Structure 1
Amino acid sequence: MRAVVTVIGKDTVGILAKVSTKCAELNANVEEVTQSVLQELFAMIMVVDISKLNSDFATLSDSLTALGDEMGVKVHVMHEDIFNCMHHI
C-alpha cells in the first residue's frame, strides 16, 4: 500500500528533510519524490510505502498535516486507492 503526500507553500530550508523525517518516524518509506521551487513557491509530491506503518493511516495524515501547519505549508496525504479512483477515467 502506498500514499501520495503533497506539500505546497513558501520555500524554506528543510521542508523535504522534515517531512521525510516524520515519515521515517512512522515507518513510512519514501519511494519517490519530485519537487520544484518557482520563485518562492515550493511544491513537492512524494509517494510513500505505508505497508509497514507503526500506526494507522489517520495518524500519518494528522502528523504530516500538523507538521505542515508548524512549518507554514499545506500538507495533504491521500491513500493510493483514493488517488487512483479520483484519476481513473
Structure 2
Amino acid sequence: MPTKQGEERAVVTVLGSDKVGIVAKVANTLAEHNANIIDISQTLLDDLFTMIMLVEVSDLSTDFESFNQALTELSDELEVKVKLQHEEVFRYMHRI
C-alpha cells in the first residue's frame, strides 16, 4: 500500500487468548493517541486471537515511545501481546 508524502506508518500486532473487548480497547488506545487505522486483519484459530493493524502515526498526540508504552500497558491489562513497530522494520523482519 503506497504512502502519502510525509505519512509515517506503523504496524500493531496483537496475539493471545481470545476475549471480549480486545479490538475495542486496542482501537480506543489508538484513537486516544490520534493514530489512524489504515488496514486491519484479524484471525481466530480455536482460542488464539491474532490481529495486525497498519496505522498512520504521523499526527500522534504524543511521541512514538510514549505511544508504545501505552500499548505495552494495554498488553498487560488484556493479558495478550501487543507490539508496535515502524512499518519498515516490520516489513524487513517479515520478508520472504
With over 3 angstroms needed to count, the CA separation of the structure-2 counterparts of 1:81 and 1:71, relative to structure 1, is: same
Q: TM-score, normalised by structure 1?
A: 0.93
Give the 5 Å matches for 1:68-83.
Answer: 68-83=75-90
Write the distance in 1 (CA, Å) between the matches of 2:20 and 2:57: 26
Aligned residue in 2 for 1:48: 55
Give the 5 Å matches for 1:1-89.
Answer: 1-87=8-94
- Structure 1 residues 12-62: Cα deviation after superposition (integer angstroms, max 9, x where no partner): 011011001000000000111100111111000000000000101111111
Q: TM-score, normalised by structure 2?
A: 0.86
Listed as ranges, the gaps of 5+ residues in structure 2 are: 1-7
With over 3 angstroms needed to count, the CA separation of the structure-2 counterparts of 1:37 and 1:79, relative to structure 1, is: same
Identity %: 51
Work out the number of aligned pairs and report it: 89
Structure 1 vs Structure 2 CA RMSD: 1.3
Listed as ranges, the gaps of 5+ residues in structure 1 are: none
